[in-house]
Structure 1
């Protein structure tokens, strides 16, 4: 582990359209002690070639390639190869503000926490801002995390110094695996501290369909009932809570 180094883990699958913008948002960070491990999960487009182009110019950027196995597997591949004290997960179509790392590390130092998250805005396929920014809860406890994932994956930062590396649950088949990841970290840390500053941009794709949303509802319920092993009633109540919260995010 290299003290002070942030390992940024980015899985990519056919993400050539947006990955340049994502990498540029990392290169533009005011905090410069980072490594970016981009894991190509069997892409069939120009994703790997674009990353290689960046890696030739900046030795902080590394490309790993694997046969298609899903985002959880790709992230775990990156985490296994990470050398940093801190772990961040950034998807290949999302963006960070230039002060993201500096601000999150400052919040860690101020609170003494080992996990932090942040507020973020939503952007469309043209990188135009839509809706209102989502403002993070100042403190997220394990109990709150049991109800729903309050840590947007692109904003989380975890200090591995105390508990070591945490890996995603590949058995979840890349559905709710990020929720399980942050839930486990908060269970160890006790709480995550939320940055009120808007530090990232989450890309909302218009390709999201009603059918996919119905599948997510089922996955969310079983995450409570089978993965967390909550009672049937609590699982149903929490699924309803998750649904209402999700709707409210897209009504602002």
Structure 2
């Protein structure tokens, strides 16, 4: 993998349905000095074949094939594998505006901050008769999430990697360390990332107790530091 200014990490598990669109939205970025690290979490479908085919025509794509171990461990392996000064994440079923990285890099260049977020717009890819209770929200959201993040890799050197024991909320847990340390960050008011709502979203079938446990952990840590 050649050196680049930004390493874009896409962790994927059985993502054959949307992975090509996700990678294409990175390839189409106006910011071209990047690598795309596709970290495959032991997929059993056609994901690896699709990514391999795409990599033959774009040497910026590299594949990190891993045994199935969960998204946090997969992301951590990719962060360790990466070498760029900046890191960004895109979920395998989501998309970016073509100017996402360029706008964020400009924002960081014009500030002393090491982390930049943008607004996120949800959209649906659901059949007409879908019974899913959660639907895409119409209003843009402040994107404190992986897909809206761009930051210096030094932030991970300082605050560590994702907690591999968490089934969900890995990024929220990680970023809470940054917030508790009162590290300044930039939040752009532009919608530059798009979160897909579909029948197989990772969060769909996970118990609310997982979120409550995560919230309690953050509150306990805040009390200890106050």
The 1-side partners of 2:139 and 2:15 are apart by 24
Query: Aligned residue for 1:88?
Result: 88
Distance 1:104 1:14 in 2: 30
Deviating 4+ runs (over 4 angstroms)? 207-211
TM-score (norm 2): 0.84
What is the DSSP-based 3-state SS (H/G/I as helix, E as strand, rest coil) of the residue aligned with 2:195? strand
What's the offset of the Cα at 1:130?
Answer: 5.0
2:216 maps to which of 225, 231, 235:
225
Deviation at 1:167, TM superposition (A): 1.2
Residue among 171, 189, 193 paired with 1:178: 171
Shift of 1:185: 3.3
Cα distance in 2, alignment partners of residues 58 and 115 from structure 1: 28
- Alpha carbons 1:133, 1:198 under 8 Å: kept: no
Paired position in structure 2 for 1:100: 100
Contact conserved, 2:124 with 2:198, CA < 8 A, in 1? yes
Q: CA deviation at 1:89?
A: 1.3
What residue is the counterpart of 2:145 in the other structure?
Answer: 152
User: Secondary structure of the equivalent of 2:44?
Assistant: coil
Distance 1:162 1:178 in 2: 13
Displacement, 1:24?
0.5
Displacement of 1:211 in angstroms is 8.0
Change (3 A) 1:188 1:61: farther
Selected match of 2:192 from 189, 199, 202? 199
1:123-143 deviations in Å (ceiling 9; x for gaps) = 1126xx95424243xxxxxxx
Cα root mean square deviation, aligned:
2.7
Per the TM alignment, residue 184 of structure 1 is displaced from its structure 2 partner at its CA by 2.4
Q: Distance in 2 between matches of 1:209 and 1:90?
A: 14
CA distance in 1, matches of 2:156, 2:14: 33
Which whole-Å deviations, capped at 9, do the CAs of 1:184-220 have from their partners, x for residues lacking one?
Answer: 234446232111111011011245699836x1x3112
Cα deviations by residue, 1:74-112 (Å, 9 ceiling, x for unpaired): 111110100111111111011011100001111112232
Higher share in helix: 1
> Alignment partner of 2:55: what SS?
helix
Shift in Å, 1:171:
1.6
